[in-house]
Structure 1
């Protein structure tokens, strides 16, 4: 079952707002979830749900990159802190393959 938790966050210290997303899908492996993040599949779903929850203006800001969409990692230490993975911008990714 696919589960999205979407929240609107305002950081008083930095003055920045963002859409914070936690994603879980028991039918997908971590590699498949990572690929869905990279391909934009999850971002498309987040934008659609953000439009329903927060309105089309907020969704358009996420599309344009004016409002960050941050996908939290499954590590508990990242969920408690400010860390996350920005999902609506291009980023260099390093991947290690163990055989």
Structure 2
């Protein structure tokens, strides 16, 4: 099953924005994935999905090269870690009660 994780990132230090992509496909080997990245096959799919998620203007910026599309497969240093954060769980709250 092919899975794309697409995120819009803004780097405050550099002032640059980019589309960050993580790609997984259990039916493909690492060599096949790398070839798909190099050939542009994955980029075409990313642009289509970016248009749906972020709008056609963002997708056009990726097509024109004004907005970088960064594949985490080629830049593993950008991955922040393997542990996910569960965002839909109830948070523990402390509350002072005045009597």
Larger of the two Rg values belongs to structure: 2
Q: Are 1:72 and 1:85, in contact at CA under 8 Å, matched by a contact in 2?
A: no
TM-score w.r.t. the length of structure 2 is 0.77
Structure 1 position 80, deviation (Å)? 1.9
- Cα 1:49/1:72, change in 2 over 3 Å: same
Give 5+ residue unaligned stretches, structure 1: none
Structure 1 position 23, deviation (Å)? 0.1
- Please report the RMSD computed on the Cα atoms of aligned residues, expressed in angstroms: 16.3
Question: Quick one: distance in 1 between partners of 2:65 and 2:84?
Answer: 16
Structure 1 position 73, deviation (Å)? 2.0
Question: Quick one: distance in 2 between partners of 1:80 and 1:87?
Answer: 17
In structure 1, the residue matched to 2:41 is 41
- Cα 1:39/1:76, change in 2 over 3 Å: closer
Structure 1 position 82, deviation (Å)? 15
Post-superposition Cα deviations, 1:37-81, rounded to whole Å, max 9, x if no partner, equal 011000000000000000000000000000000000288654128
Give 5+ residue unaligned stretches, structure 2: none
TM-score w.r.t. the length of structure 1 is 0.77
